Amino acid sequence: MNEHRDLVDTLINRHSTPATCLTEPAPDDDTLRRILQAAESAPDHGGLHPWRFLVIDGPALDRLGEVFVEAMRKKEPEASDEVLDRERLRAQRAPMIIAAIAREEAGHAKIPEIEQLLSAGIAAHHVLLAAQASGFGAIWLTGLRVYDETVMASLGLAENERLIGLINIGTAKEGAPTKGKRRRKAPIDRWSG
């Protein structure tokens, strides 16, 4: 029973750590494997496993920064050096980024695409929770670069795949915020027929 209470407490206390407050070390390979394994418990109607993850760390973060710059140049050819530098640095804020990718099987006889997308989102959220439960800070970031065709192509996504988030992971710096915006109370609404 205490295990379940601990899980509920973990869910209630989950928070995002700003990417600028994440530093080395990132999870080692054994811890990373366990964090990614948490995705496997996501609801998955039909066992399609409609997700995958790409781990980006080390020198690959520099390359990701250049991908962000290339995407910005295509979107805004007149972008200033300052804007391009800011894009480049977005890939440098955390020591590890996990690209969460939804893999959808269009026209499936039993499992609509929305269920596949939701399953991928839950799998990504499990990764976020597992990172925090493993003692790391993490934040799921989206924004224009996540939905950008140039970024998705550079990451090697297939036609039936889409990037749904960039999970930034690292060790939370001393003094990093531990609470997000004020949370509302969960109302209990009952349907009476």
| Percent of the chain scoring above 90 in pLDDT | 84
pLDDT value at residue 180: 62
pLDDT band at 154 (very low <50, low <70, confident <90, very high): very high
Contact between 70 and 146 (Cβ < 8 Å):
no
Contact between 119 and 44 (Cβ < 8 Å):
yes
pLDDT value at residue 181: 63
pLDDT tens-digit readout, 110-147: 999 999 999 999 999 999 999 999 999 999 999 989 99
pLDDT value at residue 1: 59
Contacts of 10 (CB under 8 A, 6+ apart): 129, 132, 133
pLDDT value at residue 43: 96
Q: How far apart are CA 66 and CA 51, in angstroms?
A: 25
Contacts of 143 (CB under 8 A, 6+ apart): none
pLDDT tens-digit readout, 18-69: 999 999 999 999 999 999 999 999 999 899 999 999 999 999 999 999 999 9
What's the half-sphere exposure (Cβ side, CA atoms, 13 Å) at 109? 0
DSSP string, 39-52: GGGS--GGG---EE
Chain centroid, CA 179 distance in Å:
18
pTM: predicted TM-score of the whole model, two decimal places: 0.92
Q: Which long-range contacts (CB under 8 A, 24 or more apart) does 144-148 make?
A: 144/75, 145/68, 145/71, 145/72, 145/87, 145/90, 148/71, 148/75
Number of H helices, E strands in the chain: 6, 5
Contact between 124 and 97 (Cβ < 8 Å):
no
42: tokens are 């996501």
Contact between 44 and 118 (Cβ < 8 Å):
no
pLDDT value at residue 112: 94
